Structure 1
Amino acid sequence: MGIHIRLAILFGSVARQTATASSDLDIAVLSDHQLSPEEKIQLIEAFAEKFGRPVDLIDLFDPPQPLLGQIIKTGRRILGTDEAFANLAYRNIVDQADFMPLRTRALLERRQAWISK
């Protein structure tokens, strides 16, 4: 597998140690580039074979909010340097500063629409 993984973070029920036999493995990975669909499949198959569980893989090259914040807050780093994790955490802070006002406005608009019914 020729994919260079700079950072890997385990999150979800396995990271919280609340997994059941049917739980999947939630893992977020950061490479030097955005993973292609073929690379994602390669990684999913490799992790599934190694850990014997279905895998939910998140590419940290361009992750959605608020998922990135949840991964940073609750995940367990299993591969990568402190610097790589700190850079991702910093990016999360910047993304949240951009994203949260939009999310808050959307929630307020939904609430107003619901109240107005």
Structure 2
Amino acid sequence: DGVEERIKSRLGWGLVADINETTFELRLGILQAKVEQMNMYVPKDVLEFLARNIKSNIRELEGALNKVTHTSLIGRSMTVESASETLIDLLRSNHRSVTIEEIQKKVAEFFNIKVADMQ
């Protein structure tokens, strides 16, 4: 069949976990807690903008907050517009969806196997 038994076994170990997208309220709460922890002021509309637009994961959300707060340290005002400009690349990349077929293809390429062998 062309696929080592060891690779099949490892792919079969996959952990099944239910991962749901975080809610707007949770993302906003995380941002508010982070701002408080950093002892900084970020306007509420900027926090809401971040919570509304960065949905992929919490690490990315916190990274976006760090970028936005950094702009205030270099003298720019913290507004939704400045946050949007600062995060333009991140915001663009968040709008692309990855399909199961793309994931299967990349995994197959990495392990040098056929997609059909994974099914």
Interval of TM-score (by shorter of Structure 1 and Structure 2)? under 0.3
TM-score between the two structures when normalised by the length of structure 2? 0.24
Q: Which has the larger radius of gyration?
A: 2
Where relative contact order (Cα < 8 A, 6+ residues apart) is larger, the structure is 1
Larger strand proportion of the pair: 1
